[in-house]
Structure 1
Amino acid sequence: ACENCYAEQWAKRVGQQLWGKAAPRRLFGEAHWKEPLAWNESARVARQRQRVFCASMADVFEERAELDEPRLRLWKLIGATPHLDWLLLTKRPENVGRMAPWGETPWPRNVWLGTTVETQQHAEKRLPHLLKHTAAVRFLSCEPLLGSIDLSKWFQRDGLNPIDWVIAGGESGPGARPMHPDWAKNLLKQCRDAKVAFHFKQWGHWVPAEIAEQTAKVTVINLPKEKPVEMVRLPKKEAGRILDGRTWDGFPAIRVPAHA
C-alpha cells in the first residue's frame, strides 16, 4: 500500500479497520455487483463506451485466499459487460499471469491493465511484469510521483510503444510529500517525444510557488541533483493541474481488436 494511503485514512475517519495486512477484506454487496450490468446496457444503447476504474480502494491482484472467489466473479462480470472498459490498476503485476484468466494471450478489448510507478525503482521492478500481457491498453499511474523516472527504455520497441498511457500526479492528504515540478515535466517530455498519451491528474497538496495564487505556507525542496524550488501547500482543488502552462488530458488508443 502507499505510505500515505488515502483509503486507509478514509477508513480511520469512519472508524473501521479495513486496511493493513491483518485487516479482513470487505466486499461490496449485491447491489454494487449489479451496477455494471446497468452501465453496460446504457453504454450499448448510447453507443458510447464507459470506463470503470475497478477497485479504487483495493488491488484486484492482491494475494489473499478470501479474494479468489470474488476475482472469479469479476472476470465473469467483465465478460458480461463488453461495452465497458475496465481499468485494472495494480501494484502487484507479478501476480497477473496466474490470477487473470487471459494469461499472456491477447486480452479482451475491454480490459486495460496498469501498474503504479512512483519511482525509478518501482519502474524497474514492475514494468517487466506489466509488459508480459497484451492488454488492450497498458498504462502507468505515476502517482504519487516521488522521484525522477526515465521510461525511455520501455518506449518505442520495434516501432511500437509497449506503454500506451502515462498518468502522473502529486500526493494529497495528510503527510503529502511535494512533487518536484521537474519530475512531472520530464515525464511529459518523454511521453511527447515517444507519442505516448499523457494525463496530468493533479499537483496534490503542493504546487510550485510560481503558479500558486496564495502562499499560505512555503518550503524550499533541496534534493540531490535537483534544483531547489519553492513549493506552496494548498488544498488539492486550489493547487489544480496546470503543468507547463496548460492541462494535459491525453487518452490512449485501443491496442487490440475485439474478439470472442
Structure 2
Amino acid sequence: MAETSIEWATTVWNPTTGCDRVSPGCDHCYALTMARRLKAMGSAKYQHDGDPRTSGPGFGLTLHPDTLTTPLGWRQPRRVFVNSMSDLFHARVPLAFVQRVFEVIAATPQHTYMVLTKRAGRFPRVAPRLTWPGNLWVGVSVESAEYLARVDDLRTVPAAVRFISAEPLLGPLDRLDLTGIDWLIAGGESGPGARPLSLDWVRDLIARCDRWGTAPFVKQLGAVWGRQHGADSKGGDWTYWPQDLRIREYPLSAEAVSPQGAVDQPQPSGR
C-alpha cells in the first residue's frame, strides 16, 4: 500500500506488478520507468525483468499473493487505485487470481476500488466467470479514436461504475458514445517526450459528458501545455487553466459510489 499523488485516488494497491506495452498510450509509461528505478534500488517486487521489446527491467508481469490481505487492515474509507504498476487484466494474470482480488474488494466494502485496463478485449469472455463486487469501479484507457472499441467491451462489465481514462489523450474522440459510462477522466501527457494536448479535445469530451450525463474529471493539461503557460511540469496546477476546464467531478449518486455510500465525494468544481 502507498499513498498517492494521483488526483482521483487516495491509495494504490498492487497485487500484481509489471506489464507490456500494447498501444501508443504506453509509449512513455511512468510505471515502466519507475520499475527500472525500483529494481536498481533493490526492491523485492521489481526484480523480474520483462521482454525488452514490450516491457523492461523490473517490469515483468509478477503476481504478489502476499499483498492480497493488505486492504483488510485499512479501517477508514479510501479510494484505491488497483494496480498502478500493472494491469489486472493482463493475459498472464490467471482468472483465479483476479477473482481472489475481487474477493478482497468485496470483503472491504468501506473502500471504493478502481481498476483501469487497456485489455478490455478480455471482458466479454471473462466477465460472466467473475463475481463482481459492488464497490468496484472498472475503467478502460482510451488514448485515441483507434481504441474506442475498448468502451464497447467495457459496457459488457457489470461494474458499479464504468469509467474512461482518456489519458494521455493523443487525439480527438469525436465518435465517442458515452452510453452506460458514469465517469470520464481526461488528461494530457507528462514526462520526457510528452506529446501535446489540444484543449479542444478536452472541451469536446466535457460537452459529451453533459450530453450523456457522465461526470467529467479534467486531471491535467500535460507537460507541453504546462511549459508553454508557466504551470507545473504536468500542467496539473489548475490555477493556470482556462476557467471552463476547471472541472473535477465524481459520479454523484450514492449507489454509484458503493453500496454503503461510504466514500465521501468531493464537491463538483468549476461549474
Could you say which TM-score interval applies, normalised by the shorter chain?
0.7 to 0.9
Q: Describe the superposition over 1:43-93 as per-residue Cα deviations: whole angstroms up to 9, x where unpaired.
A: 4xxxxx42211001111111116x445323212212211222221111111
Name the residue aligned to 1:33: 68
Aligned residues: 220
Question: Among 192, 200, 217, which residue is 1:182 paired with?
Answer: 200
In 2, Cα distance between the equivalents of 1:64 and 1:94? 14
1:23-62 map, 5 Å? 24-28=60-64, 30=66, 32-39=67-74, 42-43=75-76, 49-62=77-90
When normalised by structure 2's length, the TM-score is 0.70
* AA aligned opposite 1:35: T
CA positional deviation for 1:108: 3.1
Question: Among 153, 167, 182, which residue is 1:143 paired with?
Answer: 167
Which of 94-103 and 188-197 deviates more? 94-103
CA positional deviation for 1:27: 3.7
Aligned residues: CA RMSD:
2.9
Q: CA, structure 1 residues 171+209, in 2 after alignment: closer, same or farther (shift >3 Å)?
A: closer
In 1, Cα distance between the equivalents of 2:127 and 2:151? 17
* AA aligned opposite 1:173: G
Name the residue aligned to 1:173: 191
Q: Describe the superposition over 1:16-59 as per-residue Cα deviations: whole angstroms up to 9, x where unpaired.
A: 664445763234473x43321122xx24xxxxx42211001111
1:42-191 map, 5 Å? 42-43=75-76, 49-64=77-92, 67-100=94-127, 107-123=132-148, 125-151=149-175, 154-155=177-178, 161-191=179-209
In 1, Cα distance between the equivalents of 2:236 and 2:113? 29
Q: Describe the superposition over 1:188-244 as per-residue Cα deviations: whole angstroms up to 9, x where unpaired.
A: 12212332100011112121788x237xxxxxxxxxxxxxxxxxxx522x6524543
Q: CA, structure 1 residues 29+111, in 2 after alignment: closer, same or farther (shift >3 Å)?
A: closer
In 1, Cα distance between the equivalents of 2:153 and 2:145? 15
Does 1:240 find its partner at 2:267? no
Q: CA, structure 1 residues 98+78, in 2 after alignment: closer, same or farther (shift >3 Å)?
A: farther
Identity %: 36
SS in 2 for 1:206: helix
The 4+ residue runs of structure 1 with deviation greater than 6 A are: none
Conservation of the 8 A alpha-carbon contact between 1:173 and 1:205 = yes
Question: Among 197, 200, 213, which residue is 2:230 paired with?
Answer: 213
Q: CA, structure 1 residues 240+206, in 2 after alignment: closer, same or farther (shift >3 Å)?
A: farther
In 2, Cα distance between the equivalents of 1:239 and 1:10? 20
Conservation of the 8 A alpha-carbon contact between 1:108 and 1:135 = yes
In 2, Cα distance between the equivalents of 1:17 and 1:52? 25
Q: CA, structure 1 residues 92+208, in 2 after alignment: closer, same or farther (shift >3 Å)?
A: same
Conservation of the 8 A alpha-carbon contact between 2:82 and 2:115 = yes
* AA aligned opposite 1:142: A
Conservation of the 8 A alpha-carbon contact between 1:75 and 1:101 = no
Q: CA, structure 1 residues 142+257, in 2 after alignment: closer, same or farther (shift >3 Å)?
A: closer
Q: CA, structure 1 residues 17+10, in 2 after alignment: closer, same or farther (shift >3 Å)?
A: farther
Q: Describe the superposition over 1:127-164 as per-residue Cα deviations: whole angstroms up to 9, x where unpaired.
A: 11111122110100000000011255x23xxxxx4110
Which of 18-27 and 137-146 deviates more? 18-27
* AA aligned opposite 2:237: G
**Residue segments in structure 2 that go unaligned for 5+ positions in a row:** 1-20, 41-46, 261-271
SS in 2 for 1:150: coil
* AA aligned opposite 1:150: D
